[in-house]
Amino acid sequence: MLHKTVKHKFKQVAGSLTLVASLFTASVTTVSAEDIGWPEKEELKFGFIKLTDMAPLAIAYEKGYFEDEGLYVTLEAQANWKVLLDRVIDGQLDGAHMLAGQPLGATIGFGTQSHIITAFSMDLNGNGITVSNDVWAEMEKHIPVENGKPVHPIKADYLKPVVDSYKQAGKPFKMGMVFPVSTHNYELRYWLAAGGIHPGYYAPHKGDTSGQIDAQALLSVTPPPQMPATMEAGTIFGYCVGEPWNQQAVFKGIGVPVITDYEIWKNNPEKVFGVSKTWAEENPNTHIRVVKAMIRAAMWLDANNNANRPEAVKILAKSSYVGADADVIANSMTGTFEYEKGDKREVPDFNTFFRHNATYPFYSDAIWYLTQMRRWGQIAEPKSDDWYMQTAKSVYRPDIYTLAAKALIAEGLADPKDFPDFDTETGFKPPQTEFIDNVTFDGSKPNEYLDKFSIGLKGDTVL
Amino acid sequence: MSKSIPVVSHIGQIRGKNVLGNIMSTVPKLLMPVVGILLFLAIWNVVAKNIDTSLGQFPGPAQVWEQTFTLIDEHSAQREKADAFYARQEERNAARVAKDPTYVPKIRDFTGAPTFFDQIWTSLYTVMVGFFIASIVAVPVGILCGLSKSAYSAMNPLIQIFKPVSPLAWLPLVTMVVSAVYVSDDPMFSKSFITSAFTVSLCCLWPTLINTAVGVSNIDSDLVNVSKVLRLKPLSHVQKIVLPASIPMIFTGLRLSLGIGWMVLIAAEMLAQNPGLGKFVWDEFQNGSSESLARIMVAVITIGLIGFLLDRLMLSVQRLVSWDKNAVLR
């Protein structure tokens, strides 16, 4: 029943999103390259952070997919996520590689307020949690062993005694994540909370945005490329970050990755391509063309069972992109992940760019992030299920994605099989069960989902 | 004719002796710097081998030398890519005009990442503009302060307070002001360029200002008296007497300023992520590859060499404009 109303609502919303979008929706059946129209803006500057999941941007540039769309794109590495978001908001960047939570957080006004939208999800998975050698040595005592190797996935239950001993010694247990609305923050929190470690609440209505209220593990922000150095300096005891920065800890011998986000939540959405709503309204054709180029790049990255990945690794290793050593990048990009030194395991979907509809912006993904924002107090007030839907729909824009995908299909550059069935797709994934704590997530019932957690805000609770 | 020959040979003998003497006296002069550099390289090599960082061993001279060539190769590869980019662009423009006759084709700048050498050029250009702005402000104000005691007393507290301020403290203010004030749809200069240049200017002002003021106020009283006797008008007094007499001090200030400007710029580029050598260093640090440290070392040496060349450049300009050609300048 609820599902039906959701579908109905989706149609309503899709029909009235914006004037431009609805004009296009009216002509979707006959869409082709010419119908999209020439780009309004040809010279574009996109920002990215030095992480392997910026790959679709690098590939779309290097393989000339942007140029095929008549776009002349400059890619520019940014110092940190805040600078990147601010520059998208003030127009210095036309768009950027963003954390999935960033467009949502900006739109609802946690941090800098500005309406950001996304029509393209850049990848699934790709993060890991790494702890320092000292912490690992303590954790290892509690972890069951099979064939001489620790049994994965490693739950935070084994970290709990370590955190407790730090607490008894009067030392704060500090960990790093990359941004308050980052996937990493929510994944690290999810993992810690699943193991009974309280990661702390935010209380923006009281001006507390440190996220450390009631915390047993204190989380703070460190830019991804500086994670290994910060941990080496002893400022933090562990971190959650994207690649290559977990693998680099292994290479440098300064820490041990304990879990990948694939094991925390299988096929979780990671980065998105975000643009400001004003930009998207002023440049609708350009936006669709950008998405087209990026879909092609994502297809290339996953084509023939990752056959192109070694080439992608070479491109990403260039100092203007990720710049880390090729073998460090290759470790995760080619379907393996090295935990302890020498303990290399197969994780074929660790970095997924196109398979499993990775590029489609699902409303349910947006709602998961919104539930986590509520769970940890970034959304201070209780919200109705309907609010979650409306917010997800104002930020995630599968309508634009659909136009781009159909244009590619019409040009013969893509196969309709590789996309969701656009006529019936609701934007909601069926209830997902593959979380580390086995809690089922149904995107259409966010409040019911929040009630299932023992640690976290829910219902009418306000700090 | 026949008389002149012995004279010539005599001169030749004297010259020969002098040349020998010169060589004898210059050998240590030439040799010592070489010895110094070799000694430094040797110590560097040994020390580097004993420092293990998490990015691998600290780069020795050999690795740095190797990276220098990698950077040159990267530069030429990028130039080739740029050429291909322009060729493709022309084809695309032509194809589009064929389809859409209303389209006005435009050649866009290469969109690839700037190479090390592009960054050197950006930094040099920025420091020169910043230094130029500072100089055209500092020299006149300095002369005013040198000529008039009351102007000096008025300016002195400001100079003393702002002189020791680090560029990094100015940077956020400059960035915000530039973003707010410098608004245009098709800007001639990028904001990042203006920010860096102004930060450099703010830090370059003081040495020139102070040295000019000191130079002007310490002009030989004989010269001032000459000016008085000749009843020179204020403007010609400045032109004929003050400027020539204080040139050495002004240039001392300018040289200090340019040196400071160069140091400031690298720091500003690093912090503000503005294009230039500072950004190159920061990007390499962020990359954290096993070659990063060697590449940063190449940048460090380049920064040093450029700083040195800039100083020599100012020195030769000073020699050119200085009236006292016998003064010892170093």
Contact A324 B288 (CB under 8 A): yes
Q: What is the mean pLDDT of residues A252-276?
A: 91
pLDDT of residue B269: 87
Report the candidate in B172, B104, B187, B126 with the shortest Cα–Cα distance to residue A91: B187
Find residue A109's DSSP bridge partners.
none
* pLDDT tens digit sequence for A52-65: 889 999 999 999 99
Q: What is the mean pLDDT of residues A356-373?
A: 93
pLDDT of residue A276: 94
| Residue A448 predicted with pLDDT over 70 | yes
Q: Residue A76 belongs to what H/E stretch?
A: strand A72-77
The answer to whether residue B96 neighbours chain A at the CB level (below 8 Å) is yes
Q: What is the pTM of this model?
A: 0.79
The answer to whether residue B94 neighbours chain A at the CB level (below 8 Å) is no
Contact B287 A225 (CB under 8 A): yes
Distance separating alpha carbons of residues A196 and A455, to the nearest angstrom: 8
**Quick one: angle between helices B116-147 and B149-162, nearest 10?**
150
The full DSSP string for B172-240 is HHHHHHHHHH---SS-SS-HHHHHHHHHHHHHHHHHHHHHHHHHHHT--HHHHHHHHHTT--HHHIIII
* pLDDT tens digit sequence for A401-410: 999 999 999 9
Please say whether the dihedral angle defined by the alpha carbons of residues B315, B319, B322 and B324, taken in this order, is positive or negative: positive
pLDDT of residue B17: 58
Q: Which of B54, B57, B176 to mutate to test the interface with A (most CBs of A within 10 A)?
A: B54
pLDDT of residue B101: 82
Pairing, β A173-177 against β A217-221: parallel
pLDDT of residue A31: 42
Distance separating alpha carbons of residues B246 and B235, to the nearest angstrom: 15
Closest residue in chain A to residue B295, using alpha carbons only: A319
Residues of A in contact with B284 (CB under 8 A): 319, 323
Q: Residue A337 belongs to what H/E stretch?
A: strand A336-338
Contact B292 A323 (CB under 8 A): yes
pLDDT of residue A98: 93
| Residue A14 predicted with pLDDT over 80 | no
Contact B54 A229 (CB under 8 A): yes
> pLDDT tens, position by position, for chain B (330 residues)?
444 444 444 544 555 556 666 666 667 777 888 899 999 999 999 998 888 776 778 888 998 999 999 999 989 998 998 999 998 888 888 888 888 888 888 888 888 888 899 999 999 999 999 999 999 999 999 999 988 889 889 988 988 888 888 877 888 888 888 878 887 766 678 778 888 899 899 888 999 999 999 988 888 888 888 888 888 888 888 888 888 888 888 998 999 999 999 998 888 888 877 888 998 998 888 887 888 889 999 999 999 999 999 999 988 888 888 776 666 655
ipTM of the complex: 0.71
The token pair that represents B162 in the structure block: 């702002």
For residues B202-213, one letter each, b for 16 or more C-beta atoms within 10 angstroms of the residue's C-beta and e for the rest, the string is bbbbbbbbbbbb
Residues in A 293-332 with any Cβ partner in B closer than 8 A: 317-320, 322-325, 328
The answer to whether residue A229 neighbours chain B at the CB level (below 8 Å) is yes
Please, which pLDDT band fits residue A292 given cuts at 50, 70 and 90? very high
| Residue A325 predicted with pLDDT over 90 | no
Using a pLDDT cut of 90, give the percent of chain A over it.
55
User: Environment class of residue B267 by beta-carbon count within 10 Å: exposed (0-12), middle (13-18) or buried (19+)?
Assistant: middle
What's the DSSP call for residue A144?
A: -
pLDDT of residue A401: 94
* pLDDT tens digit sequence for A96-144: 999 999 999 999 988 888 999 999 999 998 899 999 999 999 998 889 9
Contact A75 B179 (CB under 8 A): no
| Residue A21 predicted with pLDDT over 50 | no
Highest-pLDDT range among A19-33, A83-97, A329-343: A83-97
Question: Which of A18-27, A439-448, B56-65, B129-138 shows the lowest per-residue confidence on average (mean pLDDT)?
Answer: A18-27
| Residue A3 predicted with pLDDT over 60 | no
Please, which pLDDT band fits residue A199 given cuts at 50, 70 and 90? very high
Contact A75 B286 (CB under 8 A): no
Centre a 10 Å sphere on the Cβ of residue B27 and count the other Cβ atoms it contains: 10
* pLDDT tens digit sequence for A172-194: 999 999 899 999 999 999 999 99
Mean confidence (pLDDT) of chain A: 87
pLDDT of residue A389: 94
Show the domains of chain A with their CATH numbers. Answer: 2-122+275-337+347-451 (3.40.190.10), 127-268 (3.40.190.10)
Contact B289 A50 (CB under 8 A): no
What is chain B's length? 330
| Residue A13 predicted with pLDDT over 60 | no
CA angle at B14 for the pair B12 and B18, rounded to the nearest 5°: 110
User: Environment class of residue B188 by beta-carbon count within 10 Å: exposed (0-12), middle (13-18) or buried (19+)?
Assistant: exposed
Closest residue in chain A to residue B271, using alpha carbons only: A79
Give the minimum alpha-carbon distance from A437 to chain B in angstroms, rounded to a whole number: 35
| Residue A458 predicted with pLDDT over 50 | yes
